[in-house]
């Protein structure tokens, strides 16, 4: 099959695997097709800036050829053998892969990783092909409160493949034209047909929001279920790893791989009958106006779809509770006047996670937070260009003492509050659902539970533009399988995920 025959905006990993198994195509042909799409629209064409780096083409083709030869000789490492993917640029990768690791920051561009992070190494052993590193919010958003989501000095501004004209000037933190939180490149890359699968990380919303904005299926695994060694992040108690895809079947295979399960998740009968679902209301569970404006009837559009979704699930035999009694989490996670997420994250970041990340490299131009701050000042034109000035989050952390005992107490209290709130609802329900443009991931993060996202619809927010939005879903700790089964039932009952019109239009005019 020639590269031009792949419909990369629709092709799933599962479909690609079937083509490979049937000898209808090869991994070499897949890699060439994806590289052509990346070349056409990452820094050219629509200039999506979804990837910070792509591995050298000759290296990727050699890897794909080796995997094709293994398949031809009767050896298939896994169902993901020969399937390309990208990971957020927070996972260290050995120089042999041809990909630097930057966390979006120029100070790490020349750093040489001693190894590949264990979770990525595991996927490579399964026969997957790491095509590139996805763009992200620099340092996962820890630099300045004014950071644009999806922007990094090393990758530029990640753009949504669904939005004509890209990020609007003066856009709010999570406004409609934004691609979403720090794993934005991972989402845009899949939606734009750069790869069928991607890996991201999240504390709160960093996977769910970008996946929702890209019309994808996504799941962030529960706390400490996936090996996070060799990964930039804030806290081992809060940062979690997850995946994004165009289908639930793809996602189930990828999450099984991340969790290193011997057997893939069983998606059941893909039927909604008997599933017990608790819906939060829209009011109070959607981004406030300071984060995202809601012009015209945008809120009404989403509210109507929210209600129609609940009604359809009822008609399909689900037991649906609407406006469930779950307090909004905005003020639930404050203690002694401090935000628990912030205090726990910053303490662990300064004392544990950042030093561990820096120690993954030899050589490295910076060896401490103070040296990172100094590097940024010395290279302001690159690190803090016009429109992206400042690093107050980092400077405030230098030399700021924090009480470890206090952070431990906060973590215990955060876990208690999160688990208590979710357990009350999950006693009588299988899944809690809320609009993905909102704070349900805070509860999941606090309790250490998995959280997922399914595409729901398109909201028209201007004369020219519509953008996707979805539902966020959470269940109890260790219930990734339960979420995937519900997602599969949802996928079978609801319309197909939307495709990005700017790319469809570009393709039509190019043909």
Residues 296 and 330: their CA atoms lie apart, in Å, by 25
Mark whether 496 is an active-site residue. Answer: no
- Contact criterion met (CB below 8 Å) for 223 and 411: no
Checking DSSP bridges between strand 338-339 and strand 334-335, what pairing results, if any? antiparallel
Q: Say which DSSP state 113 is in.
A: B
- Which of 186, 206, 318, 434 does the annotation list as catalytic? 206
Checking DSSP bridges between strand 197-202 and strand 156-157, what pairing results, if any? unpaired
Mark whether 88 is an active-site residue. Answer: yes
- Contact criterion met (CB below 8 Å) for 244 and 217: yes
Residues 435 and 438: their CA atoms lie apart, in Å, by 6
Residues 87 and 51: their CA atoms lie apart, in Å, by 9
Mark whether 182 is an active-site residue. Answer: yes
- Which of 152, 160, 182, 318 does the annotation list as catalytic? 182
Tokens of 298: 């945008």
- Contact criterion met (CB below 8 Å) for 186 and 231: no
Residues 257 and 493: their CA atoms lie apart, in Å, by 26
Tokens of 358: 């820096």
Q: How many helices (H) and strands (E) does the chain have?
A: 17, 15
Report, in this order, helix, strand and coil percent for the chain, each rounded to 5.
Answer: 40, 15, 45
Chain centroid to CA 190: 10
- Which of 88, 246, 419, 482 does the annotation list as catalytic? 88
Residues 71 and 83: their CA atoms lie apart, in Å, by 12
Angle between helices 13-21 and 27-41 (to 10 degrees): 140
- Contact criterion met (CB below 8 Å) for 113 and 360: yes
Would you name the residues annotated as active-site residues? 88, 182, 206
């Amino acid at each position: 099959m020639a590269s031009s025959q792949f419909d990369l905006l629709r092709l799933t990993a599962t479909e690609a695997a079937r083509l490979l198994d049937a000898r209808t195509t090869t991994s070499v042909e897949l890699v060439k097709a994806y590289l052509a799409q990346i070349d056409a629209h990452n820094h050219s064409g629509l200039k999506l800036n979804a990837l910070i780096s792509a591995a050298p083409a000759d290296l990727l083709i050699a890897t794909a050829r080796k995997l094709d030869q293994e398949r031809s000789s009767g050896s298939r490492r896994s169902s993901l053998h020969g399937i390309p993917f990208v990971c957020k640029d927070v996972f260290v990768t050995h120089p042999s892969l041809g990909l630097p690791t930057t966390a979006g920051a120029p100070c790490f561009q020349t750093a040489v990783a001693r190894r590949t992070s264990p979770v990525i190494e595991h996927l490579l052993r399964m026969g997957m092909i790491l095509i590139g590193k996805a763009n992200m919010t620099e340092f996962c958003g820890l630099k300045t409160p004014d950071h644009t989501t999806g922007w990094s000095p090393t990758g530029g501004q990640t753009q949504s493949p669904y939005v004509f004209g890209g990020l609007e000037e003066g856009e709010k933190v999570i406004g409609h034209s934004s691609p979403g939180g720090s794993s934005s490149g991972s989402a845009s890359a899949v939606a734009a047909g750069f790869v069928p699968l991607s890996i991201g990380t999240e504390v709160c919303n960093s996977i769910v929001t970008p996946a929702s904005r890209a019309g994808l299926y996504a799941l962030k695994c529960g706390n400490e279920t996936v090996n996070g060694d060799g990964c930039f992040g804030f806290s081992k108690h809060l940062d979690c790893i997850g995946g994004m895809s165009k289908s639930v079947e793809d996602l189930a295979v990828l999450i099984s791989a991340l969790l290193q399960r011997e057997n893939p998740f069983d998606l059941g009968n893909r039927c909604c009958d008997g599933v017990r679902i608790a819906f939060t209301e829209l009011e109070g569970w959607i981004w406030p106006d300071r984060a995202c404006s809601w012009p015209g009837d945008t809120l009404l559009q989403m509210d109507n779809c929210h209600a129609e979704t609940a009604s359809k699930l009822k008609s399909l035999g689900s037991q649906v509770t609407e406006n469930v009694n779950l307090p909004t989490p905005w003020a639930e996670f404050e203690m002694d006047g401090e935000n628990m997420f912030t205090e726990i994250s910053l303490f662990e970041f300064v004392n544990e996670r950042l030093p561990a990340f820096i120690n993954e490299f030899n050589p490295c131009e910076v060896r401490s937070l103070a040296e990172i701050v100094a590097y940024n000042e010395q290279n302001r034109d690159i690190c803090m260009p016009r429109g992206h000035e400042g690093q107050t989050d980092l400077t405030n952390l230098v030399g700021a003492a924090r009480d470890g005992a206090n952070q431990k107490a906060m973590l215990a209290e955060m876990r208690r509050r999160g688990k208590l709130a979710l357990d009350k609802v999950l006693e009588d329900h299988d899944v809690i659902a809320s609009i993905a443009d909102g704070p349900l991931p805070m509860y999941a993060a606090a309790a250490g539970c998995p959280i997922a996202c399914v595409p729901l619809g398109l909201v028209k927010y201007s004369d020219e533009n519509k953008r996707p939005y979805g539902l966020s879903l959470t269940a109890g700790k260790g219930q990734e399988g339960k979420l995937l089964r519900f997602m599969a039932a949802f996928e079978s009952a609801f319309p197909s995920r939307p495709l990005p019109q700017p790319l469809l239009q570009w393709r039509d005019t190019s043909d």
